[in-house]
Structure 1
Amino acid sequence: MYIYSFEQEVPAGWSSDGQSRLSISGDRYKDGAHSLRWDYKERPRLTVSGPIGFRPFQEGSVSQARDSFAVWIYNPRPLQDKLTFEFGRSGRGQADCRFDFHLDFRGWRTVWAAYERDMDGTPHPDMDTLTIHGPQSAGEGTLYIDQLLLCTPIDPRFHTRDFQAPAVNLRADNAANAHWLSLYAFERLERCLPLPDEVTPEQSAAHLKMNERYEVFFFRKRNVAPDDIERLEHDFAAYGISRRGDAITGRPVELPFFDHFPAADKERLKALANSVQLIEYTKLMRRIADVYRSADREDWKRKLAGMFIDLVDHLEDQGWAYGSSQGTVHHFGYSFREYYPAVFLMREVLKEHGRLELSRRTMYWYSGTGRIHTPLAEVEGNIDIFNTTLHGMLASLLMLDETPYKVRELSAFRLWLSQSLLPARGLRAAYKIDGSAYHHVNHYPAYAVGGFQGVTPVMYFLGGTPYRVTEEAHKTARRALLAMRLYSNKYEWLVSLSARHPTGKWALDPEPFAYMALAGTPDGTRDIDEEVAAAYLRLAAPASGESSDTVRRLMAAGIRPEADPSGHWAMNYAALALHRRDSWLAGVRGHSRYLWANETYVSANLYGRYISHGHLQIMSQGDPVTNEASGYSHDGWDWNRWPGTTTVHKPIAELRSDVRNVDTFSGFEEMLISDESYAGGLHLEGRNGMFAMKLHEHPKYEGTHRARKSYFFFDNRIVCLGSDIENAESRYATETTLFQNHLAGGNEAIRLNGEPPVDEFPYSRKMELDNPASILDNKGNGYYIPRGQRLSVSKATQHSKHQSTDADTEGNFAAAWLDHGTAPDGEGYEYAILVGVGAEQLVRFCEAMRSPDEAAYRVLNKDRLAHIVEDRASRTTAYAFFEANESVDIGHVAAVDTPSMVMIREEPESGGLIVSAVDPDLRLYEGVEEDQYDEHGNRIEVSLYSRRWVHAESKEHTLRLTLKGRWSRKASDAGDAVRIVSHADDRTVVEWTCKDAMPMECRLEKSL
């Protein structure tokens, strides 16, 4: 038996020294209604005889979980002493391994200790004795023990050290989840800022202003009725909290994870524990705080204050206290965040009852406020912290007495937060120079929403005070927030950005725009940021015509809603290009050797392998525009056919992800990367742009699959090219999807080649194109497909699987795709999209394409080296250079020395050129990373969290572009990063100092 709960009698095999006594007690418990009581005297010892159950970790196991020991201890009085847990083999005379557990606390505490990492010595599979050495200096006393697990497998990332067990999981302080688990390390950081001599009047005024703003933000004033009090009393009573003398008991308060329970016993142990979830507990505290602050009857207020103090004391007794890490605190922030405003709103009551400093210290500990003293060079932003604990950090400082210490702490908070908001290097969080918002080492809007909900109010609280964030930090967060309204339309973002949640329902929140606007301009000269305010007014405009106080305030200041964004944006830290006109958005996304192709968990995004294989989505339908109205619908979705992607069309069973726990840096998750560094976009004058990528699928599934793909955006025209499509899959066809649109009704029509609408259902047609073809889809987008390709069109009921549950789904869809056959070798494609056109416009476009002089665009090159397109209307030529090429000789370009993207627009009035270029390689490392390959040279699956280059800074690279003719630089926003270095033989060499895959452009004029 490896698990002990103490309900009936002292278990067999448990014994103590002659001076101690073991018994079963109902005074304290962590599960059931009893625990083991250990009444000890001098130098006590408790022995547990029986197999420990330890087994060494085996490399290559499906799970990375490590055998661990876990126990709960209740200490009625703090002791400057410890327990020592020793594990050994009977008759051997010495322990195999041991660890210490400090007793300087009152209440419940726990420890999770991995045998092979967190203990001194070497554990042995034959261990059959646990000896607990009690306090050596305390004389006599009592301890309670409950829920002891001799051996249980625990994810090695989750064990958390604290004041009781400071040697546990030391590596966590440098791991991806350090922001949750490093509370002990944060608390021990040295305070580097000097202590000021006094609190200035300006600082005191700032403290008062921040207090007022914080309270207004969180306090939900309401009319209180007797039913409200009765409901709170009923919910409070369910926790079973009672007092006997100075002791308090009640149902255990736990996190929801139960990571230390063995899978086979998890449900039984959860039922035995009968615990209250921490999130429900803290929500009750928050509800009581709001009602207390709203109530006007003194009897109600006394009753509510009493309940709140009981909740505070019970939570403290349960181990949710300063210095305690509860075995693990991974992801605990979501469960604890209501605690912070509750305590802040009840600070006067807590002070009256002598609990204010105790609660403030608990808040300071669990929000990890000590992190504000991290050396600035080591600070990394984190959306989890912005979302769940940032408000607690600030509250724990605002509740300090008005002393120089408070000034120092708030000053440190300002510096730490400012550093957290600066553009992060490599794949570090939280915000990038291009507006990407990072979590899980990639752009991740679903987490970014919560991050903005947390950080923008804090920027507002600090605004207009000496503690406001620095200008550059403000600009960076502002840029990332404004970018969210570019890749969202109007509220929902592109499905390609949904990571492991491809529901199509995730959406931005307008409120962070309001707080960013009210935080003032980045330079601090204006109280309202009018550009952000205009964005907020567009997003917040209610259909009912009713408006909030903030809307009325901004309108009274003369600010009006912005127009729908229009232009083109490249976000290469997201491998993302965005193109907008009127009210529609077209976005394309890829992946690379730095940015994962998909995020998949064991119960999330199981079929999303291809979601960023060049996924081109058009969001144009609905009021407001939504993914569903624009064609995406989960049920029945063919996960092979993301629009714009080139994929091997596999049966659904073979498309399902095989999610593994590949190392100790990650959990059960899949984040596959390519070995290609070329993926990204370019914009020209902020109006038009392009995107290109070298597609190479990971060998975990189809490592022979490759393609070179490009997308060129000119006003409402999108030209899509593919070349060098190849793979060895001879069973299933390789396809490039033009569109897959949900049909709200089977009679929704599409049109082929200008013929009458196809409103029949089902419908299927395959065509070998001897002549160009056209399609008008059911969402108002036109497709032009040149001759020489195999086109398939379908309207059908599709059968698929739920991305999370694997349940069967179905839905009606229209789809079109180009068929490249099985095991393609050197295949390609070409098609153009006209967004939001009518049938007549599409016909005119197709007719014009027959004439070289009238054609809207021309493909000047499409091969392994480059895809090059000339757009007639905009006088723009766009180049996707997949390789360096010293003999381009197309358009204005003679040569290029770097795989890159270039766009050149001719200015007929001046005879000049506008040139934009980018090296899309983020250049976080050079060469080949050897540990991504096995001994046979085959690429293997690795966790991105294990990569050394994740935190590396993008390296500068000089791109040399040789243009035909003699040119001189007229103007450039890039400064010295773009320069002309030579003229020779009627050629001009322009150098671009590239970094962070950021596009740069310049104006050139003819040079004599």
Structure 2
Amino acid sequence: MMTYLLKYKFLFLFVLLSIQQSNAQLQKDICEYQVPSNWKAVNGTLKITGQHYKLGKQSFQWKWNKSNAYLQIDDSVLKDVINDPRSTFVFWVYNATPLKDKLHFVFLNGEEEVYKADFALDFNGWRTAWMMYHRDMQKLKEQGINRLRIYAPKSVTKGELFLDQVMLNVNINPRSPMRDQQVPYVNLGGDKAANAHWTSLYKFSQNKGYLLQKESNAAVFNDIDSVQNKYLKLIANPKVNTQNLQQIRTEYDFWNISYNKGVVTGRPIFSVNDIELVDIKLLDSVKKENEKSNIKRYSILMLQVAQAWNNISDKVVKAELEQKFMNLLNHLDDQGWSYGSGMGALHHLGYNMGDFYSACLIMKPVIKKQGQLNRTFNTMNWFSGLGRTLEQPDQFPVSNIDVFNTLLGGMLSSVLILDNVPQKQWYLEHYSKWIGKNIEPNLEITGAFKPDGAVFHHGHLYPAYGVGGYNGLAPIIYVLGRTSFKVEEKAHQSFKENMLMMHYYTNPTRWPLGVAGRHPTGNWRIPDMPFAYMALAGTPDGKQPVDKEMAAVYLLVTKNANTALAKQFSKQGILPAKHPEGHWNLNFGLLDIHRRADWLLTVKAHNRYFVSHESYPRANMFGRYLSYGQVEIAFPESQKNASGFKDLGWDWNRIPGTTTLHVPLNVLRADIKNVDDFSGVEEMLLTDEVFAGGTNLDKQGVFAMKLHGHDKYNMGSFRANKSWFTFDNLLIALGSDINNNIDSYPTETTLFQNYLKDKNEVFQVNGEKNITFPFVLKENLKQDLVVTDNRGITYYVPRNQQVNLYKKTQQSRNQKDLQDTKGNFAGLVLDHGRAPQQKSYEYAIAIKANDGQIEALQNRDKAKPGIYQVLQQDSLVHSVYYAKEKMTGLAIFTSKKHLTDKIIRENSTPCLVLYKENGNQLELSVTDPDLRFYQGKDDTPLNADGTRKEVSIYSRYWFKTPAQPSVVELKINGAWEKTDNSEVYSLTTDKEGNTIVQINCKYGLPSKINIKKR
């Protein structure tokens, strides 16, 4: 369901982050060579053995033969526990005989008990726990410790356990530990944390379901068969066959699986999270192989074995593969990958274990024949978190893209591997309802899909993760489709609209740099197969077996027009979708979208709810300004100059559309930290300004923001009001109140920065052809400037502004900060000087302008009334009139002020308005840009000096509170009345004869009304 490319990119990044964020006390394996002298067995024995091992090749074998037996460990490393709130105790235990009893851990200062913890022994195989001293254990006294005693279970006077990877004091990320059946008290807050979808397996396992089991009938049997057959076809992969056998055998041998007296052993299978505990470089001579011994690699092998078994007929080879698979399954279980085991920490599990579930479903006949069907279902159920679907609907945990991307197939495989039809039916009904509930629009910052069509991850619009969500969800909706288990129509329609919205802001497959998250490469693309699966799922109402709208988008965005599906859709008379035309506001994502013909224009902002950027170590290291008003104009990638971006000498200070402080790269480089216990090592900054958003009417739009730099980079004085008015092929950009007291660097607004593949590419400057390289025009304009760039885009800059138009070779660093880069670029920049006060700007962009439009711009002062007029540009309002459509747009930054607009006289709250006069009628679109996750002043914590503190978005209490509706009140000049019965607005008349319009606004969506003169 997810490309291996995304998997591997994520795995590398996650390991890198884990190493940097953990600050772990890196230790070698002390259970490998000899029993340390500071370990003592009372009423028992302790020795090194190779019978079982979890790390390296050996472990400690502890035998006891009397009651009150215990191990005692005296170690100076324990003295540091009291001073480190992240101190954690980690260990592995192997138990051959399940016991209804517990190990008792007591940490002492001499003979005084300070901490206590228990560990249940009702399992066989390996189990582990990560227990934080200060948070997870029972604390008896406030003092240091120097000793640990591990007491044997009291119910047996004679027994045996094996211990490995015992770490007395490790500093770890507090988000990582998870509770399970052995330690259900660990990290209780994790069930409500941002990563709860990974760490709440124990909580999920406690859910009992809420639907009654229905009797099964022939129709149910047929529907289950339909679901199962379609899903098996998706995961079978007929390309894996006998030709892959040698590769499979070699990979299988790597794991060294063998049996001794019926007990399986083999190479340890690590969780990705184990990297937080041990520096693998410190291991023995097999360290390089052990580094590769992770659950991801193991799961891939299991699926390859299963697919080969499924696709060949040779009985001898088939028997060989059956045995190999069962050996893999048994070793996996023995290693602790079993029901009820949390493996210490398992966040991001879905990215690494996804192939396991498909493998087991394919191999169901073999597993059943070997009598291991129930054990396998339980394991699949546990690790996929299937129990989350059994929660009461009003208690469903908010699911995010990671769940949809990586766990849906695992959950479905867990259900389908069952034999009991009524039970399978019961689970499928819960599963379908859970999916439907979770793909409906979510009103919080957490969650995946928003009312305006934005797809979210990490608290902001993030199509790179949305791709994974679509890849996970769409096939499941198809598999369940046209059966009694299909998702509800409302949910299906909502998900379809969300996918279409990504189609609207990609052209046809690439999305804007401003929403690239930590991947500003320009290379990510919209996926094609989810559109195909949604087409095959039929229309949401179930009336049509093929959704032609989704099929048309598939035909537009697919890389290969000769696929079987492409041919199938074409035979049905479906043509590739045309490029969308219109205007859309994603105010949850603070992305404005304007389209005509084959081009896409977007504007990106940020505010106090949605972060300006996401930077990780070696990912988007210079992306601070990506949401400072980024304007991107994209043509289809098949065209020569589809984008002006190229990470080869790109100046990260000069992102088109943005107003920025132009600083050296070493100053722009992100200073990335782990700022609190809610986050990892990352930078995701919030401003304290709430105003950012847009509205639209009749395919035209207005978008605006109040920009305020972050104190982290001494940009607290950096402010500007910015607005964009998009009419047909025209963008008018205004800036005012540009202020800061920073005189070390210039403040600039960038109009374009274009990569030049050929440095002689043609530009037009005031009508004259220019191919000079290098070239510079740096002056305070005495007359208007009109530049048509190498992409056919015309820029109009009114006089009396300081411009810098250039073509030159630039030196820079790539976005990962890994290497120097170099390239040829052209740029147009407005220079506001150093420490500007009350500066402003105006410019216009005409895309694919004809000669008449360019001439009209050049003679705008003479035109009557001109293409556009700037009506107001100050701290109160930015307002523009577009003559062709008799349309006026207003970005009203303040409230309860007398306005100079001829129609809008006053407003109750800052808002965005677009209105159109048509005889005696007036159409208005109004948006309250404040989504109101909380109200009042900005609540960012302050440092001692009064500057804003950097804190994690995940630490904010309002991260999980829903957006609230509001009422915007406008005073309209003159007497007006309603033309319809819409409940969106109401009208009253004041004593002066003006009209008071009360408009209901919600979720950043435009509220549209139509009134007429009385």
Range into which the TM-score falls when normalised by the shorter chain: over 0.9
SS of the residue aligned with 1:302?
A: helix
Displacement of 1:360 after TM fit?
1.5
Q: What does the per-residue CA deviation read over 1:937-965, in whole Å, with 9 as the maximum and x for residues that have no partner? A: 43211111111111212222111122223
CA distance in 1, matches of 2:540, 2:991: 46
Deviates more, 1:531-540 or 1:174-183: 531-540
CA distance in 1, matches of 2:840, 2:644: 26
Confirm or deny that 1:67 pairs with 2:84: no
In the other structure, the counterpart of 1:458 is 476
In the other structure, the counterpart of 2:616 is 601
Q: 1:80 aligns with which of 90, 100, 103?
A: 100
Q: 2:692 aligns with which of 676, 679, 684?
A: 679
Confirm or deny that 1:845 pairs with 2:826: no
CA distance in 1, matches of 2:264, 2:569: 51
**TM-score, length of structure 1 as denominator length:** 0.95
Paired residues in the alignment total 985
The residue type equivalent to 1:713 in the other structure is T
Q: 1:734 to 1:122 in 2, by over 3 A?
A: farther
CA distance in 2, matches of 1:23, 1:681: 70
The residue type equivalent to 1:738 in the other structure is L
Q: 1:309 aligns with which of 301, 323, 326?
A: 326
In the other structure, the counterpart of 1:773 is 785
Q: 2:37 aligns with which of 6, 12, 22?
A: 12
CA distance in 2, matches of 1:656, 1:481: 34
SS of the residue aligned with 2:902?
A: coil
Q: What does the per-residue CA deviation read over 1:653-705, in whole Å, with 9 as the maximum and x for residues that have no partner? A: 111111121111111111111111110111112x1111101111121110111
In the other structure, the counterpart of 1:987 is 994
Displacement of 1:906 after TM fit?
2.3
Confirm or deny that 1:957 pairs with 2:966: yes
Displacement of 1:57 after TM fit?
7.3
Contact 2:131 2:137 in 1 (8 A): yes
Q: What does the per-residue CA deviation read over 1:30-61, in whole Å, with 9 as the maximum and x for residues that have no partner? A: 122111111222332111122233535769xx
Displacement of 1:275 after TM fit?
5.7
CA distance in 1, matches of 2:877, 2:518: 33
Q: 1:265 to 1:858 in 2, by over 3 A?
A: same
Q: 1:256 aligns with which of 266, 272, 276?
A: 272
Displacement of 1:195 after TM fit?
3.0
Contact 1:889 1:895 in 2 (8 A): no
CA distance in 1, matches of 2:785, 2:595: 26
The residue type equivalent to 2:30 in the other structure is S
Confirm or deny that 1:294 pairs with 2:311: yes
Q: 2:710 aligns with which of 698, 719, 737?
A: 698
CA distance in 2, matches of 1:164, 1:632: 53
Q: 1:223 to 1:636 in 2, by over 3 A?
A: closer
Q: 1:592 to 1:318 in 2, by over 3 A?
A: same
Q: 1:324 to 1:123 in 2, by over 3 A?
A: farther
SS of the residue aligned with 1:138?
A: coil
Q: 1:619 aligns with which of 634, 646, 652?
A: 634
In the other structure, the counterpart of 2:6 is none
Confirm or deny that 1:1006 pairs with 2:1006: no
Confirm or deny that 1:583 pairs with 2:587: no
Structure 2, unmatched stretches of 5+, are 1-24
Q: What does the per-residue CA deviation read over 1:743-797, in whole Å, with 9 as the maximum and x for residues that have no partner? A: 112212322211222x222222202111111111121111000011000011111
In the other structure, the counterpart of 1:915 is 924
In the other structure, the counterpart of 2:245 is 229
Alignment of 1:67-146 (within 5 A): 67-90=87-110, 93-121=111-139, 126-146=144-164
Q: What does the per-residue CA deviation read over 1:460-502, in whole Å, with 9 as the maximum and x for residues that have no partner? A: 1111122211222212211111111111111111000011111
The residue type equivalent to 2:974 in the other structure is G
Q: 1:828 to 1:706 in 2, by over 3 A?
A: same
Q: What does the per-residue CA deviation read over 1:250-291, in whole Å, with 9 as the maximum and x for residues that have no partner? A: 111112343442569767796595661211111111111111
In the other structure, the counterpart of 1:369 is 386
In the other structure, the counterpart of 2:11 is none
Contact 1:870 1:876 in 2 (8 A): yes
Displacement of 1:837 after TM fit?
3.2
Displacement of 1:986 after TM fit?
4.5
CA distance in 1, matches of 2:840, 2:362: 64
In the other structure, the counterpart of 2:13 is none
CA distance in 2, matches of 1:147, 1:500: 35
Confirm or deny that 1:217 pairs with 2:229: no
Structure 1, unmatched stretches of 5+, are 60-64
CA distance in 1, matches of 2:269, 2:166: 17
Displacement of 1:979 after TM fit?
2.5
Q: 1:648 to 1:490 in 2, by over 3 A?
A: same
CA distance in 2, matches of 1:579, 1:960: 27
Contact 1:258 1:266 in 2 (8 A): no
Contact 1:31 1:272 in 2 (8 A): no
Alignment of 1:748-763 (within 5 A): 748-757=761-770, 759-763=771-775
CA distance in 1, matches of 2:101, 2:274: 29
The residue type equivalent to 2:868 in the other structure is Y
Contact 1:642 1:740 in 2 (8 A): yes
Q: 1:426 to 1:463 in 2, by over 3 A?
A: same
SS of the residue aligned with 1:670?
A: coil
Confirm or deny that 1:863 pairs with 2:879: no
Displacement of 1:913 after TM fit?
2.2
Q: 1:924 aligns with which of 921, 933, 936?
A: 933
Displacement of 1:911 after TM fit?
3.9
CA distance in 2, matches of 1:424, 1:54: 47
Q: 1:539 aligns with which of 537, 544, 557?
A: 557
In the other structure, the counterpart of 2:448 is 430
The residue type equivalent to 1:229 in the other structure is L
Q: What does the per-residue CA deviation read over 1:701-725, in whole Å, with 9 as the maximum and x for residues that have no partner? A: 1011110000000111000000000
SS of the residue aligned with 1:171?
A: helix
CA distance in 2, matches of 1:920, 1:809: 39
Deviates more, 1:402-411 or 1:583-592: 402-411
Contact 1:70 1:260 in 2 (8 A): no
In the other structure, the counterpart of 1:325 is 342
In the other structure, the counterpart of 1:62 is none
In the other structure, the counterpart of 1:357 is 374
Displacement of 1:318 after TM fit?
0.6
Q: 1:651 aligns with which of 664, 667, 670?
A: 664
SS of the residue aligned with 1:961?
A: strand
Contact 1:848 1:854 in 2 (8 A): no
The residue type equivalent to 1:866 in the other structure is V
Contact 1:52 1:127 in 2 (8 A): no
The residue type equivalent to 2:580 in the other structure is P
Q: 1:3 to 1:729 in 2, by over 3 A?
A: same
SS of the residue aligned with 1:551?
A: helix
Q: 1:785 aligns with which of 787, 794, 797?
A: 797
CA distance in 2, matches of 1:556, 1:970: 46
Contact 1:54 1:125 in 2 (8 A): no
Contact 1:251 1:274 in 2 (8 A): no
CA distance in 1, matches of 2:936, 2:877: 22
In the other structure, the counterpart of 2:12 is none
Q: What does the per-residue CA deviation read over 1:838-889, in whole Å, with 9 as the maximum and x for residues that have no partner? A: 6x45641333413240521000110000010011112211111111244223
Q: 1:904 to 1:674 in 2, by over 3 A?
A: same
Displacement of 1:321 after TM fit?
0.6
The residue type equivalent to 1:644 in the other structure is G
CA distance in 2, matches of 1:772, 1:829: 13
Displacement of 1:141 after TM fit?
2.4
Q: 1:619 to 1:16 in 2, by over 3 A?
A: same
Q: 1:622 to 1:446 in 2, by over 3 A?
A: closer
In the other structure, the counterpart of 2:22 is none
Contact 2:432 2:485 in 1 (8 A): yes
